[in-house]
Structure 1
């Protein structure tokens, strides 16, 4: 069974070129890109990004969920927020018990520590340790630099077009039809 059923199934009501399936068997046309070819490129990017996440997790000796949790905690810290375990559970869409196990593991392995929350002394804050911050940055900085170079190689109009496309896709996958 495919990991993501939507990777191989045409959507009812889609435009005519999408009704021809995923389009992977058609040779690419370097002069123009059909909607299907563009979506196939996006799918290829998602697969490459997923493989990168697996490699990064393996390099750091942790599971992918652990790495996602650390990235979330680092982003929150960068904007001055101290997260609680429940904030992490909500952000990662996980049950409180699973978040507790995750926090226990990250703490035990020396990536984070529990501290009194600065705004609510009854709560426990999650603090990312400096060595973790350095390790994550060292592991991901070259990747992010390459990605920034790619986006900076686009003209302002191309970036605007890419942003419009991606926002439209986000809206399309977030849309929940009425039952």
Structure 2
């Protein structure tokens, strides 16, 4: 196997392991009636400025009706509210509720604590070295390639 493909596999394994920890912490925080990890991701995207269902659907690679169903559930569960667009009354914007903001902050905080706990076995020098490489990989992988969409 080539070095590049080994690195790619290692990177995908790291992403999967990190995602498991994040999912577990969000599940622990939310309980059985809380948002799913996908819903957390949607709430995070909405908090970041995505306000329309169509844009949300496009960002997640799902149909607009599927996104609309997910949004309706989050509205019903008290995580989102629909608000008329300030200048275009034909449009409705999505806004997070205080409940959603609280869940996001708490879940992210727990996930960061858990990841920090796992990484605490590394020396400070090693953590700094790993952080430097992660930032470099993130920069490389975030560079836009013509025709690609980034979430």
The residue that corresponds to 2:42 in the other structure is: 69
CA distance in 2 between counterparts of 1:58 and 1:147 reads 15
Structure 1 residue 97: Cα displacement: 0.5
CA distance in 2 between counterparts of 1:168 and 1:116 reads 39
Query: What is the count of residue pairs matched by the alignment?
Result: 137
The residue that corresponds to 2:138 in the other structure is: 166
Q: TM-score, normalised by structure 1?
A: 0.60
RCO higher in structure (CA 8 A, sep ≥6): 2
* C-alpha distance 109-92 of structure 1, shift in aligned 2 (>3 A): same
- Larger Rg computed on CA atoms: 1
1:103 aligns with 2:77: no
Q: TM-score, normalised by structure 2?
A: 0.70
1:44 aligns with 2:13: yes
CA contact (8 A) 2:21 2:111 kept: no
The residue that corresponds to 1:130 in the other structure is: 98
1:154 aligns with 2:123: no
* C-alpha distance 108-175 of structure 1, shift in aligned 2 (>3 A): same
Q: Deviations over 1:22-43 (max 9, x none)?
A: 7xxxxxxxxxxxxx3x445423
Provide structure 1 residue ranges, at least 5 long, that are not aligned to the other structure: 1-9, 11-15, 23-35, 77-81
Provide structure 2 residue ranges, at least 5 long, that are not aligned to the other structure: none
Higher helix share: 2
CA contact (8 A) 2:52 2:92 kept: yes
CA distance in 2 between counterparts of 1:17 and 1:104 reads 46
Query: RMSD in angstroms over aligned alpha carbons?
Result: 3.4
Structure 1 residue 95: Cα displacement: 0.5
* C-alpha distance 67-111 of structure 1, shift in aligned 2 (>3 A): same
